[in-house]
Structure 1
Amino acid sequence: MKNIFRTFVQLVASIYIFFLIGLAVAILLIQNSWIDMRFESEYMVTISLLTGLWFYFLTTFLNARKFAIWESARISAAVGILSIAITSIITLIGGSFSILPSYVVRKSLFLEDILTLDSMNELLIILIPIGFIFMAFAVWSSNKSKTRTESNTGWTQLSGVQKLGIMFLFVLIAFFLLVYLGQGGFRDLINQSTVYLKDADVEGFRDYLLSFGSLAAVVSGLLMVFQAIIAPLPAFVITFANGLLFGWGWGAVLSWSSAMAGALLCFYLAKILGRPVVEKIVTKKALNWWDSFFARYGKHAVFIARLVPIVSFDLVSYAAGVTSISFWQFFWATGLGQLPATILYSYLGQNATSTVEILFFIFTIVIALAVIGMILRPKLHVRNKEKQGGNG
């Protein structure tokens, strides 16, 4: 029971201290009219809260005690007092003490349709003192607990490259979320492109790319990399649209090169982060499936998987990164394996957009059956020989 209470206190303290930091930074940024015209600074609170949760995760599950700043009395007091002072002074001088903090918090927590500004103010008056109490408890419980158990994936057991990779991954995700939430134009770009990809609307996606003018190829390439690394969206729509927009030749070059960039980034992220983190990205079950597939087909596994469009592109890239396969084996297997489908989809995109979904699934099935036949043929041949031997 004590451990549960201590865990809860640490969680609240980690969220609260970063909440104060985010609130102070958001209000500072709002005073800069140049930034505020182009960026919704209120979402600094959102990202700061996620940072607090991330630090709590590193502390609790990876035993990275150096990130538990809420366990230090000096740091907690200094950060808390400074954040409250910045927030109070700026809002008092601007005459917005009873409006701006509650407005920022309400928007950053997506409570605009639930709470009024007055209700948010009342809630802050209650929660801020309670938060300081939790911070005090966190410091006290940390000082009282002298023994800590190392986790199986302790921070000290990770290499310097893995530590750097984990922090880089979080910074990358946090930066993406911050820009996505705070910059309306970027948010619209992601939302609209996601809808086109999800609905397999090739012509709509083509028209959307055209709206970027000379940057259409750049946007297409970035979206291909984005879907390869983060979003489980169908890449074939981008490939078809590139063929329709740039012609099958240049469209194939653009689709192939951007898909390769995404695959290599996934491969190296997996190499740097290691298997425990990759399991969280692609799930342990999927990674175990890949292990058995790789054990059966060895260095040809990546090439075979790339030929079969129904196998997740992201899974193969991430999973290959935690195997013994070398960079060049992965590079050539991926490049050659995805080339036939890329050329085919680009050509179809240029010449047959009205039936693109039907054609995609037909060719997917045909290619899948061809690859399965190639895989099963040696086994069937051996089985037939055994039967003939038994009959003889």
Structure 2
Amino acid sequence: MSLEENETAETRWNVKTFAFAGLFITLIIISLYLLYHMFFVDETFLYTIVIEWFVNPIAVLGFLGILIFILIMGIQGLLVPIPSEIVLVATGMIWGLIGGGIMGIIGSMVAALLCFYISRKGGRPLAEKFVGGKALFLADRFIEKYGMGTIIVARFLPFIAFDPISYASGLVDLDVKKYSIGTFISSIPRAFFYSWLGSILFPPGMSFPINLADVPLAELEAYSANFNFLLVIILGVLVILFGIYYVFSIYLERKAKINRENSNAKE
């Protein structure tokens, strides 16, 4: 590679790095502002936004709202930083425990198959653009070692990252029918768990569109406090698991590198 090509590659790398760093810092600032506003200014702030700008519009649109929800789940699969868990909680708020669970399963299947086919058709470089190299590397290793067991366990446990498994599954020699069946079965408890959480965060006996002005202030504050607490718990657990995921992926990468070097030395 020439000096000019090196400089071009380095410049592109720096631009990409600064872009991701800028996006990450922006998200951190927005998150901190929302947390401050939620806990010190108006604890009903975020809950009100979710009800008025997400739950109400989808609920009143009927079948079109269902299609919009499925579209959101698909987009969420492409934008991995958006946790699917938060979207699944909203299903319980909109359709209740049973309806929300069913919609959660449908949305999860759409997202899982979309990620699977993107990875299968576009290959590893495209998959890494969506989910990141380290997350994909770790998921890849587990699927290669444990096969369908990895998919079932990862889907079954509520707080395990959903999308890296979907992308990694498209890269290995895995039959799409087996993948779909495993995803469907293990998505059931996950979808109903988050649907149940959403259903208990919603004022009972109210019809759509919800007018929060009709909800007694004390009751609204109680639901908002529970929503805020649940959101912090979900995000906190996801951050911790992401940290563990990241560190473990580095460990596996270094181990694989050492094994390759030892193998080359023997040859």
TM-score scaled by length of structure 1: 0.39
Alignment of 1:114-153 (within 5 A): none
| Distance in 1, Cα, partners of 2:130 & 2:230 | 31
| Distance in 2, Cα, partners of 1:338 & 1:280 | 25
Q: Is the 8 A contact 2:92 2:100 kept in 1?
A: yes
Q: Is the 8 A contact 1:348 1:356 kept in 2?
A: no
Q: Is the 8 A contact 1:202 1:240 kept in 2?
A: no
| Distance in 2, Cα, partners of 1:276 & 1:283 | 10
- 1:275 equivalent in alignment to 2:124: yes
Q: Is the 8 A contact 2:128 2:136 kept in 1?
A: yes
Q: Is the 8 A contact 2:85 2:194 kept in 1?
A: yes
Deviates more, 1:320-329 or 1:275-284: 275-284
- 1:263 equivalent in alignment to 2:112: yes
Alignment of 1:358-369 (within 5 A): 358-359=229-230, 361=233
| Structure 2 partner of 1:315 | 164
Q: Secondary structure at the match of 1:311?
A: coil
Larger C-alpha radius of gyration, 1 or 2? 1
| Structure 2 partner of 1:379 | none
| Structure 2 partner of 1:207 | 56
Deviates more, 1:201-210 or 1:271-280: 201-210
Q: Is the 8 A contact 2:104 2:192 kept in 1?
A: no
- 1:341 equivalent in alignment to 2:190: yes
Unaligned runs of at least 5 residues, structure 1: 9-194, 370-392
- 1:332 equivalent in alignment to 2:206: no
Q: CA deviation at 1:233?
A: 1.0
Q: Secondary structure at the match of 2:174?
A: coil
| Distance in 2, Cα, partners of 1:224 & 1:277 | 19
Q: Secondary structure at the match of 2:147?
A: helix
Q: Deviations over 1:37-94 (max 9, x none)?
A: xxxxxxxxxxxxxxxxxxxxxxxxxxxxxxxxxxxxxxxxxxxxxxxxxxxxxxxxxx
**Which segments of structure 1 move beyond 6 Å, counting only runs of 4 or more?**
none
Q: Secondary structure at the match of 1:274?
A: helix
Q: Is the 8 A contact 1:202 1:237 kept in 2?
A: no
Q: CA deviation at 1:346?
A: 1.3
Q: Is the 8 A contact 1:228 1:263 kept in 2?
A: yes
| Distance in 1, Cα, partners of 2:179 & 2:229 | 31
**What is the number of equivalent residue pairs in this alignment?**
176
Percent identity (aligned): 30
Q: Is the 8 A contact 2:155 2:190 kept in 1?
A: no
Q: Deviations over 1:281-329 (max 9, x none)?
A: 3222222211222233222111111123333222111111001121122
User: What letter matches 1:225 in structure 2?
Assistant: G
User: What letter matches 1:239 in structure 2?
Assistant: L
| Structure 1 partner of 2:149 | 300
- 1:290 equivalent in alignment to 2:149: no
| Distance in 1, Cα, partners of 2:3 & 2:185 | 54
| Distance in 2, Cα, partners of 1:222 & 1:242 | 14
TM-score scaled by length of structure 2: 0.56
Q: CA deviation at 1:2?
A: 8.4
| Distance in 2, Cα, partners of 1:285 & 1:236 | 21
Q: CA deviation at 1:356?
A: 3.8
* Cα gap change, 1:211 to 1:289, in 2 (>3 Å): same
| Structure 2 partner of 1:218 | 67
Tell me how large the CA RMSD over aligned residues is. 3.3
Q: RCO (CA 8 Å, sep 6+): is it higher in 1 or 2?
A: 2
* Cα gap change, 1:241 to 1:316, in 2 (>3 Å): same
Q: Secondary structure at the match of 1:312?
A: coil
| Distance in 2, Cα, partners of 1:207 & 1:238 | 14
Unaligned runs of at least 5 residues, structure 2: 9-33, 35-45, 203-222, 242-267
Q: Secondary structure at the match of 1:239?
A: helix
User: What letter matches 2:51 in structure 1?
Assistant: E
User: What letter matches 2:96 in structure 1?
Assistant: G
User: What letter matches 1:258 in structure 2?
Assistant: G
